Amino acid sequence: MVKIFAGSANKPLAEKIAHSLSLSISPLEIHIFPDGEKRARVLESVLDEHCVVVQPTAPPVDANYMELFFIVDALKRSGAKSVTVVISYLGYQRQDHVFREGEGVSLEVVVKTLEAAGVDKVITFDLHTIRALEVFKIPVVHLSALPLFAEKIRRLIHPGGVHPRFAKASPGEPATLNDAVLVSPDMGGVRRIKILSEMLNNLPYAAIVKNRDLATGEITVSEVQGELAKTAIIVDDMIASGSTIAEGVRVLQKRGVEQIFVFATHAVFSADAKKILEQAPLEKIFVTDSIEVPEEKRFNKLETLSVAGIITKELQKS
């Protein structure tokens, strides 16, 4: 028997997972004191139960991590047989090694805390780099939204039916896009693009070569590797400030691309991301519900795909 618990960060995702498993969300009490401190309390017996906690650690990252630590500790102290945490977006994942002398490694700190709290397994999605997996000593299931993206790309619809750039495929074969190319917004995402390309009958791909100043965060683009086409599909693991996507769109249009779609797993959407993305001359942006996008950060070009089904299948294996 499995019990599903929802932290505060993404209750809608937890509810979808529970519904798919024909379960109800088990009750928790998260009390916030006047000074901002939190206390977690389990409100039903979990003795010898397998427990799953859904809590991505998107902004506010520190608050969501602390709440997760407290929930896990409460479950363990209450006798839970095992605790699996679904951290669909793993905060601090980009700080997985020392970039400059004198820095700490933030990801190692939070992982050690998760392990010390008693987490038995982590389920997460589309890490910025698979090198982050090396930090963990406990089992980690690294899932991907790429199958969702591949299916959506195959089925891009316009008012007249199937998108005209899709060609008919033989029975049992996935469709392919005519005159289109997958694009990684940086060289670090080429591995991801290659995997998606294989899912789409080896759809051509290209990559934008960029440089980032570690001190200021400023991005400069030096070139594009690979042949482009009239339609470009930018694919990334996350959208934070939106500046990388906006710059990618600018570079692609400058090189003759007429139509641009964007797919990204994690909608971090910090700072002025909504404004930047709304103003970018692109067709549509597809993200997943690995992070709950609040109403004030949504806009007309945005469409959300759910990873709940992928998570449910993984939980059913255990």
Catalytic residue annotation = 210
3-state secondary structure 87-111: ECCCCCCCCCCCCCCCCCCHHHHHH
Instruction: List the end-to-end C-alpha distance of the chain, in Å, as a whole number.
Output: 11
Q: Which residues face 304 on adjacent strands?
A: 287
Task: Quote the CA–CA distance of 88 and 66 in Å, as a whole number.
Answer: 16
Task: Quote the CA–CA distance of 277 and 284 in Å, as a whole number.
Answer: 10
Bond before 60 cis per omega within 30 degrees: yes
Name 126's Cβ contacts closer than 8 Å, sequence gap at least 6. 143, 144, 145, 146, 192, 237, 238, 265, 266, 290
Do 58 and 37 contact (CB within 8 A), yes or no? Answer: no
